[in-house]
Amino acid sequence: MIHEYHDVAPGRPVTTTPANWSALAPHKFLERASVVHAKKTAVVDGDRSFTYAEWYDRALKFARMLSARGVGPGKRVAVLALNSEPLLLAHHAVPVSGGELVAINTRLGVDEVAYILEHCDAAVIVVSEELVDRIVPDRLADCLVLDAAFEEELTASTPLKDADYVWDELSTISINYTSGTTGKPKGVMYHHRGAYLNALAMALEHGLTSDSTYLWTLPMFHCNGWCFPWATAATGANNICLPSVDVEKIWELCLAGKVTHLSAAPTVLTRLLESPSVRKLSSPVRIITAGAAPSPTVMVRMRELGFRVDHVYGLTETYGPFTTNPDSGSVDDADCKLLPRQGLPNVVAGEVKVVTVHNQAVPADGVTLGEVLMRGNVVMTGYLNSPDATAEAMRDGWFHSGDLAVVHPNQQIEIRDRIKDLVISGGENISTVEVEQAIASHPGVVECAVVGRLDAQWGEVPVAFVSVRDGSTVTEADILDHCRSLIARYKCPKDIFFGELPKSSTGKIVKTQLKERL
């Protein structure tokens, strides 16, 4: 096949042929690893483990199972599973089948999962046994349950030969849902090129090699695990699956020297430091952290214990990490204060700038605030079925993050606030609008407002200010029970304060005053 296109210089036609061009497709990393690292352990999940040769064979057989169920180009495969070998495998098997992967947040409720399944028009739903109850009854017929029968079918399947569906590297490889600030999840579309490049960036920036062992503490459903499912395959690194954040298990593996890398929200770092197992490591472990910036105290303490903490920044719309601020290992106090900064674009990301409301670049003075804008190889294609939201987010040729930051003299950015009222709790985005709508639907509530409060464990937690109807006997427990019936438990407010809400002259609730109360 011959592809003809024009590059950025008008009038310069570029003709490509199979001799000088192939699409950047990250599932190809596993095909290579199956030969180069054939006998090396690819993944450990509980008492099961597979070499790269065995794992590639499983990927092709899994792809055959999907193909037999009608999956092909443009068809979406939703996966609802905890961190596990099948979910990791799906990152390779789904692209081989030609499908698009939709990894769903396992913390969502039944209605939220149902909305995503309908919005993405999932052709097949792959679900863990323990999460089947999250699937509405009318979609159970479309489910492929990860049980003994699944393993039997996979073992008996004939490997599906990769049909090279990815001739267009800008076609969609996955869709990741984020609530954003609208209250309704938006499907963020990733293309093969971006996933391929960001996987290589993660491997290069954070020192993954064939001798590395990556511990899965970061949810694989979150931004496709920051592209590490493909990064580990690219380098031939070993994966250890951890279904949930088990602090004592993390310490056990790290102290035994069985882990070299992991990714975690700052809240996990705090929990590690509070564990009774705290002690200095005999061999170093490199941690990639993102979310609400960890304090220098936490990062320095982690360093003293033998961890090297690289701070990264990004959004679901940027394949996870876009900028990185690696730990230099210096013990100088001045250097330690730089650790919580968000840094500079990673090696493949592209450009980042901070601009004023007049779209002027802020001076690199570490003081002047502006919005963070990004553009480059690892910015989403757009929001699924939402052209207006896509155009708004990517206006003027830049992706607008909605985050406020300063630029320091060394060109590093540092996030200072968020333009909108997004709460980042334990690395997860919580829409205050969504929470407010859930609270307001209680019959005893007149109005409410939700804001974020700093929290030592979670970085931020949502709290609610509520005014109730005269004569109402509604309690905090009543509202919390109501919320838990509508939205995921982690989105529910951690505290509820009753009373009159401050208003502006136009009748709007003044959230800044509520934050001042906290």
DSSP state string for 345-368: E-TTTEEEEEE-TTSPBPPSSS--
For the domain spanning 423-517, the CATH number is 3.30.300.30
Phi, psi angle pair for 378, to nearest 5°: -115, 45
Instruction: Tell me the C-alpha distance between 395 and 359, whole Å.
Output: 12
Domain map of the chain by residue range?
Answer: 27-208, 423-517
Instruction: Tell me the C-alpha distance between 52 and 226, whole Å.
Output: 21
CA 303 to chain centroid, in Å, comes to 25
3-class DSSP assignment, residue 431:
coil
3-class DSSP assignment, residue 94:
helix
Of 171, 153, 155, the closest CA to residue 68 belongs to 153
Question: pLDDT per position in the chain (518 positions), as tens?
Answer: 344 444 445 565 667 788 888 889 999 999 999 999 999 999 999 999 999 999 999 999 999 999 999 999 999 999 999 999 999 999 999 999 999 999 999 988 999 999 999 999 999 999 999 999 999 999 999 999 999 999 999 999 999 986 666 678 999 999 999 864 346 789 999 999 999 999 999 999 999 999 999 999 999 999 999 999 999 999 999 999 999 999 999 999 999 999 999 998 877 887 898 799 999 999 999 999 986 566 667 788 888 999 999 999 999 999 999 999 887 666 565 566 677 788 999 999 999 999 998 899 999 998 888 899 999 999 999 999 999 999 999 999 999 998 888 899 999 998 876 666 678 888 887 877 678 878 988 888 878 889 999 998 888 999 999 988 788 889 999 999 999 999 999 999 999 999 988 874 334 677 888 988 88
Query: Measured on CA atoms in the order 186, 217, 318, 489, is the torsion positive or negative?
Result: positive
| pLDDT at site 142 | 94
Question: Across 13-104, where does the E strand assignment appear?
Answer: 13-16, 41-45, 48-51, 76-80, 100-103
Of 216, 223, 222, 215, the closest CA to residue 195 belongs to 223
- 8 A C-beta contact, residue 68 and residue 93: no
102 forms beta bridges with: 78
Instruction: Write down the residue that tokens 């609400």 correspond to.
Output: 292
- 8 A C-beta contact, residue 262 and residue 217: yes
* 395: CB partners within 8 A, 6+ apart: none
- If 0-12 CB within 10 Å is exposed, 13-18 middle and 19+ buried, where does residue 474 land? middle
* 128: CB partners within 8 A, 6+ apart: 80, 81, 82, 84, 86, 145, 146
Instruction: Tell me the C-alpha distance between 91 and 102, whole Å.
Output: 10
Instruction: Tell me the C-alpha distance between 214 and 187, whole Å.
Output: 27
Nearest 5°: the CA angle 13, 18, 19 is 90
User: Which DSSP symbol is given to 395?
Assistant: G
In terms of C-beta distances under 8 Å and separation of at least 24 residues, what long-range contacts does 506-515 make, across chains too? Answer: 509/447, 509/449, 511/421, 511/449, 511/451, 514/449, 514/451, 514/465, 515/451, 515/452
Fold of 27-208: Rossmann fold (3.40.50)
| pTM of this structure | 0.82
| pLDDT at site 6 | 41
Instruction: Tell me the C-alpha distance between 191 and 469, whole Å.
Output: 50
| pLDDT at site 334 | 55
Structure tokens at 228: 């590490």
User: Which DSSP symbol is given to 412?
Assistant: -
* 43: CB partners within 8 A, 6+ apart: 49, 50, 55, 85, 88, 89, 238, 239, 240, 241
3-class DSSP assignment, residue 60:
helix
CA 411 to chain centroid, in Å, comes to 25
Q: Do domains 27-208 and 423-517 have the same CATH topology?
A: no
- 8 A C-beta contact, residue 417 and residue 404: yes
User: Which DSSP symbol is given to 9?
Assistant: S
Of 317, 311, 314, 251, the closest CA to residue 285 belongs to 251
- If 0-12 CB within 10 Å is exposed, 13-18 middle and 19+ buried, where does residue 406 land? buried
Of 78, 19, 62, 91, the closest CA to residue 157 belongs to 62
| pLDDT at site 201 | 97
DSSP H or E segment with residue 372 = strand 370-376
Instruction: Tell me the C-alpha distance between 22 and 482, whole Å.
Output: 53
